[in-house]
Structures are given as structure tokens and as C-alpha cells.
Structure 1
Amino acid sequence: MGKILVTGATGNVGSHVASQLARAGLEVRAFARKPEKVQAGVEVVQGDLTVPETLEPALKDVESVFLLWPGMSTGNAGEVVSAIARHARRVVYLSAYVPGSEDAATHYGDIEHFIRTSGLGWTFLRPGGFSANTLGWAEQIKRDGVVRWPYGQASRALIHEKDIAAVAVHALTSAGHNGASYDLTGPAELTQAEQVRAIGEAIGREVRWEEQPVEEARERLLAAWGEPEFVQSALKAWESFVTHPEKATDTVERLLGRPALSFRQWAEDHAADFR
């Protein structure tokens, strides 16, 4: 098997992709803006996908690429995909595109289109909610033991980043995944209030949910994010999960031959972040 290039190699998912490939004894090269943050023992090329010329040296002798696009704009993604296609044979892309949804024209769909028309063999990973997003509650939990947030009954099947990485490694290293799009979730749906309780159990102390008025949350998010459209989209999504929960899929178990990791397992893995 040829060399595998991992972009986003210092992020929540990419770091696990790189480490899992390395532990399997495969040739892996990490592509990162901050190479000092890549785990020891992995070959690293410094660069930035938004500066395509930095990608060329990283693609030498590469057969497959794990692609994670930075940011919320397609920017020069078409140019990057073309560069990958000149060197590699396959790409596994960490997407979030939902065909037929209101966000069907977002950058995820655009990049999928670039890849589909590039001549590369491809696999798209489409995870739902990330367990790691709950790290946004860490300061409240450490300070007050309370999470004050809207839509406590919004329910999602959050996925552990290790499972996304494991599926990516499986797709990169085994046959039968070309042209496949995989919807990935955790094993069970939990409301946000239940997620908070699970974090409390993992760190050994009670953590309470306190429902925050939506307008108060909007003001707080506007101050933090500064993008009204993005804030409105996020609030609308959380509201929708109250009446239409994100359903768990069996994709992780079907591909890996083991159950997906639970949210409780994720909380135990990250307990230090909440203490």
C-alpha cells in the first residue's frame, strides 16, 4: 500500500487518523500548519490548504489522501482537489453534506462536486453531531457545575472523533469503498440535558442543565461568533432536534465490526477537560 497523506493532522479527527495509521505500521505523512503539534514518529510537511503551492511537496509519492477542508468557504478547494488528482488515486473526504437539505449548496456539497468530477476514487464521510462540540460547555461546568443553554430536549446521536477516524482509516486501507457516502453517528440518541448528566457522571460530580431563553442565547452567540446568519442557523438546528431528533445509524458498527463508542465513553476520555 502506498503512502497516505493526512490533512488537518493536528485536529480532533485528523490527529487520530494519523496516529491510527502509524500504529498500523503504514506509511503516513501529515500535512499541518503547525508541524510541531503532530505526534512524534510521523513524517510531517508544513503547509496550508488555503495556499495550494504548499501542498505539492506533500503529495510526492502519495497514493491516498484524507481530506479535511479548513473553514467555511470553498476558496481554492477546486485547485486543491486538482492537485491531489495529479498525484494520488484516492481521497477520503470528511464532509457534512446532506443531499436535499437546505444547506445543499454549502461548501461541503461544492467540494464533493469537485471530487466527484476529478477522476479520483472517492469516499465521503458524513458525520452528524460531534461529541467534541460539547467541549463548549467546559468552562460553565468547571466554574458552576451548570450548563445554561437553550433547547435542552434537542436530541442527537453524537459521535466520538475516534470513530470517525477509525472509519476513515478503514476506507483508506481496505477495498470496496469507492463511490460510497457514509452517514456516521454515535450508537444512541441523547438530549442535550442527558449529555450534561453523562458528563457529570464521567467526572464524578453532579452537573445540572438550566434552560436558557433563546433570545439570551442569541445575544451571547452573536457576541462570540459575530455572524447573525450562522447564529440563526445554529439555533434553528437545535430547535429542529427537539421535534425531529437526529437518529442513530449502524454504519460504524457495520464497517468496523464493533459498536460505535458511546457518549459516556467520550465523556470519560475527555473528563480532564471538564474538571
Structure 2
Amino acid sequence: MAILVTGSRGQVGAAVLGELLAAGAPVRASARSPQPGDFPPGVDAVRADLTDPSTWPAALAGVQKVFLYAHPETAAEFAAAAERAGVEHVVLLSSYTVMAADAEANPIGRRHLAAERELAGARLTRTFVRPGYFATNSLRWQSIRTDRVLRTAFPDATTAPVHERDIAAVAARALLNDTADAAYPVLGAGPVTIRDQVAAIAEALGEPVVLQEVDVDTYRADLMTQLPGPLVELLIQSGGSVHQLPPEVATDAVPELLGRPALTFAEWARDHADDFR
């Protein structure tokens, strides 16, 4: 029976699909509107839209396991459809924000908690993959591509970027091996300043990139073109740093599950150098 990968054209979904194909697993790739050439030759591709339940029965037919993006508005309905189709296990792409004490006050944490709760009530086993701050958020720094400059009010702010390949490897491991309920934090190689992230991208490009410090109002206006207002204000209030989990819960699952350290931001930058060219 096949493994359905929802969102197979996304950064994480595509990486999960690649991991499963490399393992020789039978996979079905889905997207809202799959097009010829989206996926490797021979991959079964179907339409599946998490906002459109009419697309689910065909996508779920003959499926044993599912990699699922979090969409709390329809999570309970999707779980019921999965049960009817005979799905045994769902791996949910959740978020490390659900582990924070203030999860309900965080818009990202609130949405992922809701999705987890809906799946927890279903009659199937589930794995929650809880990544931290996605390294792919740096892809919004397109001024590096166009002007070889990054403008920020907080050059020494820190994030702990997580490579999508780590998220995908943990998710694939769960899809191939997990048979009971589990939750895996995927937290990256550790905090890195914006200054050092820009330097890593410059090294990957083999070209200099200017880090230009701007005032907070200019930075806010720039962020508002890229992110929802509430997230922009949270970022400004934190001085540009992304909140990290307290040490007592911040245990990255990657070393134990995969037998290697988490991938660094420098490795991510090398993998994505073409996105900045």
C-alpha cells in the first residue's frame, strides 16, 4: 500500500517525497493542481486539496500512511476520511511552538495545537514532527539575489534555522518505521546570527553580500510586504530574534533518530545557492 505525501511541491513535501523514493517506498504525490513534470517519472500523482474534501477519497484510496501538512480547519474531517479509507498512520508536519508554555498565545502554535488535537482524537496512530524555525524563511531575502544586500534593523539577532532535509528525513523515518504515537522536535544545529547567515550565503555564492543596518520603521515596512502583521510585530518586539524553547524541552530528535548531527545553516546555504543567483 502507498504512502501519500500531501504538498509534494513544497520545500518539505518535496524533500519527504525524495527520501521515500530513495528508500524504495511506494509513494503517491499530491498537490492542489499537479502538472506534468512536477514529480519524477513513474510517481503516482493526484490532486489533493486540504481545503476541498471532495479531492480526498481518490487521493486516499489504497493508502496506508500519510504525510500531512497542518490545516486545522479540516483536520478532523481529513482524519475521518483517512479512517474510512483504511489509513493506519499519519505523520503531521507540526511546529515546535506547540511545546512552548505560551503556545496558545502564539498564532503559529495555536494553529498547530489545533491540528494535533484533531488527529489525537482519531482512531489511527500518528506522529507529530515539530520543526523549529525553517531555514527556508531566508528565501524571502530576495534583495540578496537582486542587489547582493540584506537590510535589517537587527543584524545580530539570532534564529536557529532548520534545514528542510532534516525535517524530511525525520518524517520519512516515521512513515517507514513508526507504528505507535510519537512526537519528534527537529530544532536545527543551534542559534546563528543574521550576520553569520548572510556571511554563509555569501560564501555559498562566492560573492560578497552587504549587510546594511536600517532603522526599525524601515525594517517593519519591508517585513509587512512579506509577513502577516501579527508576526511582524512579534519579530520587532523580540529584536529580530526568534524565540527558542527552554533547555528542558529543547532536545533535537535528529541525532538519535538519524545518527548524525543536525545540518547547519552553511549546508543549507550551499544547497540553496542557486535560489540567490
TM over 0.5: yes
The correspondence for 2:131, drawn from 127, 130, 134, is 127
Equivalent in the alignment of 1:53: 54
Offset of residue 249 of structure 1: 4.4
Offset of residue 245 of structure 1: 8.6
State the identity %: 40
Offset of residue 201 of structure 1: 0.7
SS at match of 2:40: coil
Counterparts in 2 of 1:22-41, with a 5 A limit?
Answer: 22-36=21-35, 37-41=38-42
Q: Which amino acid aligns with 1:32?
A: A
Distance 1:160 1:220, change over 3 A: same
Alignment deviations for residues 77-118 of structure 1 (CA, whole Å, 9 cap, x no partner): 321122122221111100114232232762111010000011
Equivalent in the alignment of 1:215: 217
Equivalent in the alignment of 2:253: 251
Offset of residue 236 of structure 1: 3.4
Equivalent in the alignment of 2:74: 76
Alignment deviations for residues 46-87 of structure 1 (CA, whole Å, 9 cap, x no partner): 1211001101111111111100135xxx33232112212222
SS at match of 1:55: helix
Q: Which amino acid aligns with 1:24?
A: A
1:157 aligns to 2:160 (yes or no):
yes
Counterparts in 2 of 1:164-175, with a 5 A limit?
Answer: 164-175=167-178
CA distance in 2, matches of 1:240, 1:35: 37
Counterparts in 2 of 1:1-275, with a 5 A limit?
Answer: 2-36=1-35, 37-69=38-70, 74-87=72-85, 88-96=87-95, 97-99=97-99, 100-101=101-102, 102-103=105-106, 106-137=110-141, 139-175=142-178, 178-225=180-227, 227-237=228-238, 239-241=240-242, 249-275=251-277
Contact 1:157/1:186, CA 8 A, preserved across alignment: yes
5+ unaligned residues in a row in structure 2: which ranges? Answer: none
Q: Which amino acid aligns with 2:157?
A: A
5+ unaligned residues in a row in structure 1: which ranges? Answer: none
Distance 1:240 1:194, change over 3 A: closer
* Backbone CA RMSD of aligned residues: 2.2
Alignment deviations for residues 206-236 of structure 1 (CA, whole Å, 9 cap, x no partner): 21322222222222233445x4323223433
Contact 1:154/1:245, CA 8 A, preserved across alignment: no
Distance 1:4 1:223, change over 3 A: closer
Distance 1:31 1:232, change over 3 A: same
Q: Which amino acid aligns with 2:31?
A: A
Contact 2:161/2:191, CA 8 A, preserved across alignment: yes
Distance 1:184 1:224, change over 3 A: closer
SS at match of 1:35: coil
Distance 1:246 1:69, change over 3 A: same
Contact 1:151/1:211, CA 8 A, preserved across alignment: yes
SS at match of 1:63: strand
SS at match of 2:98: coil
- How many equivalent residue pairs? 267
Distance 1:146 1:8, change over 3 A: same
Contact 1:197/1:208, CA 8 A, preserved across alignment: no
- TM-score between the two structures when normalised by the length of structure 2: 0.88
CA distance in 1, matches of 2:263, 2:222: 32
